[in-house]
A and B are shown apart, each in its own frame.
Chain A
Amino acid sequence: MATGPSALRISRHAGREEAIAGWFFLLPALALLGLFLVWPALQAVLLSFTDYQLLAPLPTRFAGVENYRQLLGDATVWRAAGTTLTFAALAVPLQTGLALALALGLNQPVPGRSLLRAAYFCPVVISTVVAAVIWSYLYHPTQGLFNRLLTDAGLPAQPFLSSPRQALPAILGIATWQNVGFYLVIFLAGLQQIAPQLYEAAAVDGANGWQQFRFVTVPQLRRTTSFVVIVATIYALRLFTEVYVTTKGGPFGATRTLIYLVWEEGVAFRHTGYAAALAVLFFLLVLAITLLQRRLFGGERGD
């Protein structure tokens, strides 16, 4: 709003010069985005309509929608989609809720607050591969810490990653441990932006702690929550590294996610065209879910 009239007041020539300068400054970013994001993405879309296979001495032919037809008829794909969506449906509420709860706690003047904040953020900095390796030791059925604690407490030992039923929840544990710190920091920033006067006014009006949370904190955090939920959803849908390190999609395919399938088909088996079609489909799925979430969180204050 502010730039419009002021730009008009400057001579037309100067305005154009400014626009040129603007584009000039944008150029490096646009070039890099185009080269490393847009162009490969377009290539993936093109590849998905061919039968291209990496390093195969065969001519690449246009295959139309054959890849899409095949993958829609593939039970493995549907199962992986189900696994991925289940994981996201579990991960997003759990991680968002936990991060909010921790952020509320760490927003209070508790002793050692900055130390705790750093501690919760630590897992975010660790490489996912390292985290997954460490957790696979913790989860080990006979040697792991968790089963040691369980058996010491007189409870039966659990198979964790080697059980088709427990593997996905076990991976959820790894992902939650690693990601919550990141969402926590975002929530903390959101909490600190809420004007203290709002709480004072609420207190004057006789609101108790829960009411203050419900009618001040939650509405004030709406944009923050929307951001966290969208980011957490995208992260959850992209689940790969933890699976690759711990279960390789097993046991019985119980942890094979869509991205794992893309990796397996595209990288391990070199069925590049088919994997590209899978990736395109995955992109559309994530896009649809994200748009839906934006609608749900949207409203007068949405951007």
Chain B
Amino acid sequence: MVAARRLTRRALLAGGTAAASLALLSACGATATATPGTRGSATLTTAPGTPATSPSANTATPASGPVTIEAWIYGNTGSDVNAESQQTAAIIEAFNQANRGRIAVRVNPIANPDTEYQAKLLSAAAAHQLPDLLQLDGPFVASYAYSQILAPLDAYFTPDDLRDFVPSIIEQGTWQGHLWSLGAFSSSMGVMVNKKLVAAAGLTIPTSVGAAWDWPTFAAAARQLTKNGVSGLDLHMDYGVSDWFTYLMSTFIWSNGGDLLSPDRSQADGAVNGPAAVEVMTEFQRLFKEGVVSATPDPVAFEKGQVAFQIIGAWVIEGFKDFPDLDWTIMPLPYFKQRVSPSGSYAWGIGAQGQQRDAAAELLRWLVATDTGIVPIVQTNKLPPARTSAYPKLPFYASLPYSLYAEQLQTTARARPITPAYPVLTAKFAQAVNDIALGAPVKESLDAVARAVDDDIKRHNGYRP
């Protein structure tokens, strides 16, 4: 999810026709890195001194040498995601060093955006070629668990181990009473504020969740600031139809007392097209129609000072450094009826088909341990740590803007709907959000989402195990 988003942004940054040659090059690059076989050949790191034997050869004789396992990680061609991917590989390399002679991990970075990674994972599962450990996108956990791509983690973590994790990360990884995934970091969303524009309007910006604006206050401010070529609000609609739209809008539907699924998650009809959701989407559509927010924005409109507020996640902050003139701050999300924030990000799971689950679990523990996994990765990607004990070790999380994410995660965060129907739900809902932004009738668009999701649930006998 995050990766796809960043790639889009990167690509769009290049802008206009000048990007043509660049796109050509980067597309060629993507093909070139994706072409080599998925198993082993794209290996980034191999433990020193490990003979290049296949994993199956090692499983037959575990006593004679180190156990070799394979890990799939998100690797991407966008340079900021590359940094995260390379850091993940480095963390695994440190694991290899610490376990020399015992476990050797082969890292396979899948150099593709999100949807292609998922497609690759599904074909690997169908062909019984799943890796031992895999990075995955949080909201898809239930779908993967249902499809028997993941093995449960219950045996590897005691309740005591789990107490340190922020609740929404456990929620994201749990389905049918079992834990299927754990991540090192989560995500959150806030309102980026252009200080100059907002100060000129005489508005005071709240800095804590308790002081957050309610929706009417926020919408009025956004409308007031929409003038002289400035938009009041930006929602990064340029990311395109993707999980971002679900992440963004589900938050406000929750805040309005609604949800995307019924409380028992057995149907979407009455929830995703229920009164609370329709009300929120109608409200947003009004802002689109009035020109307060653009359905086809300049990807860096906020950075250029053409937007007063931008609702977005922490992942854009690093990019702000390229715009020294931008004077910005952050404020908590506005709320309809209750204060809610989104959460979730890439997480780790153990492949259900692997023969070396114990070794994979050891690596997973390393990746989500505070010192070996979380601190190094969060220093790179700046996303909110998934464990409470990591916060004191990452000093920048003690002050704004990052402290706000921490506060939201600990007080108001929710995970996206846990359901094996999530792939259908997010695809259809994101499509509806895009259509509504462009002026489609709200209720009909959401009805279509409900129909598709309920059809999928019905096809799977209600997703009962």
Q: Which chain B residues lie closer than 8 Å to A54 at the CB level?
A: 122, 126
Query: Which residue among A51, A140, A159 has the maximum number of chain B CB atoms within 10 Å of its CB?
Result: A140
Q: Which residues of A contact B149 (CB under 8 A)?
A: 55
Stretch of B101-109, B161-169, B190-198, B290-298 lying at the A interface: B290-298
Contacting residues, chain A, for B427 (C-beta < 8 A): 264, 268-269
**Interface residues in B414-443 (C-beta closer than 8 Å to A):** 423-424, 427, 431, 434-435, 438, 440
Interface-side segment among B15-23, B41-49, B218-226:
B15-23
Q: In the docked arrangement, what's the CA distance between A98 and B266, Å?
A: 53
How far, in angstroms, from A280 to B13 measured CA to CA in the complex?
42
> Which residue of the partner chain, among B24, B126, B423, B431, contacts A250 with CB atoms under 8 Å?
B431
Q: Is the CB of B20 within 8 A of A57?
A: no
Contact with B along A146-164 (1 / 0, CB 8 A): 0000000000000100111
Assess whether A130 is in contact with B295, with CB atoms less than 8 Å apart: no
Interface size of B by Cβ–Cβ distance < 8 Å? Answer: 41
Out of A53, A143, A270, which one reaches B15, CB within 8 Å?
A143
Tell yes or no: B201 within 8 A of A by CB.
no
Q: Which residues of B contact A169 (CB under 8 A)?
A: none
Within 8 A of B (CB), among A238-289: 248-253, 264, 267-271, 274
The answer on a CB contact under 8 Å between B23 and A251 is: no
A248–B146 alpha-carbon span in the complex (Å): 26
Say if the beta carbon of A58 comes within 8 Å of chain B.
yes
Q: Which residues in chain B, 1-32, are within 8 Å of chain A measured between CB atoms?
A: 11-12, 15-17, 19-20, 23-24, 27, 31
**Binary CB contact string for chain B from 250 to 267 against chain A (1 if under 8 A, 0 otherwise):** 000000000000000000
Main secondary structure of the interface of B (DSSP, over half): helix
Confirm or deny: B321 has a beta carbon within 8 angstroms of a beta carbon on chain A.
Answer: no
A-B CB contacts (within 8 Å), total count: 95
Is A141 on the interface with B (CB-CB < 8 A)?
A: yes
Chain A residues contacting B456 (CB-CB under 8 Å) are: 269, 271
B240 interface residue, CB < 8 Å from A? yes
Q: Are B27 and A248 in contact (CB under 8 A)?
A: no
**Cβ of B125 and Cβ of A55 under 8 Å apart?**
yes
Chain B residues, CB < 8 A from A7: none
A72 to chain B, nearest CB (A): 15
Given contacts A143-B15, A145-B16, A269-B423, 15 further A-B pairs with CB under 8 A are: A56-B147, A57-B146, A57-B147, A58-B460, A126-B24, A137-B16, A137-B23, A162-B438, A250-B241, A251-B435, A251-B438, A252-B435, A267-B119, A269-B424, A270-B423
Q: Can you sample 16 A-B contacts with CB below 8 Å? A: A55-B125, A55-B147, A58-B461, A126-B24, A127-B31, A129-B27, A130-B23, A133-B23, A137-B12, A137-B16, A137-B17, A137-B19, A163-B438, A250-B241, A252-B435, A270-B423
**Which residues in B have some Cβ–Cβ distance to A below 8 Å?**
11-12, 15-17, 19-20, 23-24, 27, 31, 115, 119, 122, 125-126, 146-149, 240-241, 294-298, 423-424, 427, 431, 434-435, 438, 440, 445, 456, 459-461, 465
